[in-house]
């Protein structure tokens, strides 16, 4: 008795495997993507189709996930559509394809997003991408030492979030070697100048929105600063 070696032609070609993965809905993303926060940030694009603004769940340079409860995009997977993407510097018409759907979500592949827009989006996504490396630390329990921090999160890149048990200051965020103090009902402060720009604030929001497996305390912090941002 012997085992017959499989002939090379019996191995499914790559194209067949990709088609099979497409039918089965297997994950094939090659571009990192970030989640959109609940509030609107000026650095991130907005997507319109047939004069209808669609809510973006997440985005990458290769595509995005949209909420389409009214099915303005149509129900058919594989359809090619043309979308208007509104950037801070102008509008771009982009050809795209619906690659999958799950309930109201439509996963969209960009077919001809310009290189300049890809570069802009990559830069705008940076805080969200860095956030995906952040994880939570277990704080030591010591009755003899009063720990003011409720939670601590950090990454190997040096980014961190410390959620504090303060009356006014509720957190400290370190992002790309800059330190920010977060207050309950006020604009964040940037050390050492004390001035936090609009661009800085947007980066903080995008950073906190993309930290994996957020705790209740982290979600509460994110909601608090998004509310401050929305109030201007």
* 102 and 41 share one domain: yes
Q: How far apart are CA 10 and CA 51, in angstroms?
A: 50
* 189 and 120 share one domain: no
Q: Does residue 212 sit within a domain?
A: yes
Pairwise pLDDT comparison (30 vs 71), residue with the higher score: 71
Given 3-state DSSP classes, what are the helix, strand and coil percentages for the chain, each rounded to the nearest 5?
Answer: 25, 35, 40
Q: Does residue 39 sit within a domain?
A: yes
Q: Does residue 163 sit within a domain?
A: yes
**Per-residue confidence at 194, pLDDT binned at 50, 70, 90?**
confident
The predicted pLDDT at position 140 comes to 63
* Strands, E assignment, the chain: 34-35, 46-49, 52-59, 63-67, 80-87, 90-102, 105-110, 135-137, 149-154, 160-164, 169-175, 178-183, 186-190
The predicted pLDDT at position 193 comes to 87
**Per-residue confidence at 195, pLDDT binned at 50, 70, 90?**
confident
Q: How far apart are CA 150 and CA 77, in angstroms?
A: 46
Pairwise pLDDT comparison (202 vs 12), residue with the higher score: 202
Range of the domain at 194: 130-139+148-231
Pairwise pLDDT comparison (7 vs 109), residue with the higher score: 109
Question: Which of 14-23, 107-116, 210-219 is predicted with the least confidence, judged by mean pLDDT?
Answer: 14-23
Q: Does residue 75 sit within a domain?
A: yes
Closest CA to 139 of 157, 155, 156, 163: 163
Each residue's pLDDT tens digit, 124-176? 999 999 999 999 988 665 543 345 688 999 999 999 999 998 888 999 999 99
pTM to 2 decimal places: 0.82
Q: Does residue 87 sit within a domain?
A: yes
Torsion 124-128-132-133 (CA) sign: positive
* 157 and 120 share one domain: no
Each residue's pLDDT tens digit, 39-65? 989 999 999 998 899 999 999 999 999
Each residue's pLDDT tens digit, 2-42? 444 444 444 344 344 334 434 444 344 568 999 999 998 99
Q: How many domains does the chain have?
A: 2
The predicted pLDDT at position 30 comes to 66
The predicted pLDDT at position 17 comes to 36
Q: Does residue 3 sit within a domain?
A: no
Q: Does residue 12 sit within a domain?
A: no
Q: How far apart are CA 64 and CA 191, in angstroms?
A: 35
Backbone torsion region of residue 203, taken as left when φ is above 0, otherwise alpha when ψ lies between -120 and 50, otherwise beta? alpha
* 170 and 117 share one domain: no
Q: How far apart are CA 13 and CA 57, in angstroms?
A: 34
Q: Does residue 201 sit within a domain?
A: yes
* DSSP 8-class letter at 157: T
State both tokens at 43.
């650095």
CATH number for the domain spanning 110: value is 2.40.10.220
């Amino acid at each position: 008795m012997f085992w017959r070696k499989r002939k090379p032609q019996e191995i499914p070609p790559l194209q067949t495997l990709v088609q099979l993965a497409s039918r089965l809905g297997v994950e094939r993303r090659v571009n990192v993507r970030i989640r959109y926060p609940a509030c609107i940030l000026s650095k991130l694009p907005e997507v319109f189709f047939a004069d209808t603004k669609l809510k973006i769940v997440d985005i990458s340079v290769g595509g995005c996930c949209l909420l389409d409860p009214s099915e303005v995009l149509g129900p058919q997977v594989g359809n090619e559509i043309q979308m208007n993407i509104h950037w801070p510097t102008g509008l771009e018409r982009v050809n795209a394809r619906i690659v999958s759907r799950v309930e109201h979500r439509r996963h969209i592949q960009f077919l001809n997003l310009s290189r300049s827009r890809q570069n802009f989006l990559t830069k705008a996504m940076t805080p969200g991408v860095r956030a995906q490396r952040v994880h939570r630390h277990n704080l030591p329990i010591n009755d003899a030492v009063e720990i003011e921090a409720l939670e601590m999160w950090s990454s190997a890149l040096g980014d961190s979030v410390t959620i504090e048990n303060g009356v006014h200051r509720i957190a400290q965020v370190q992002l790309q070697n800059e330190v920010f103090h977060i207050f309950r009902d006020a604009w964040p402060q940037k050390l050492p100048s004390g001035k936090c720009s609009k661009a800085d604030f947007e980066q903080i929001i995008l950073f906190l929105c993309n930290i994996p497996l957020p705790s209740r305390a982290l979600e509460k912090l994110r909601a608090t600063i998004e509310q401050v941002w929305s109030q201007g």
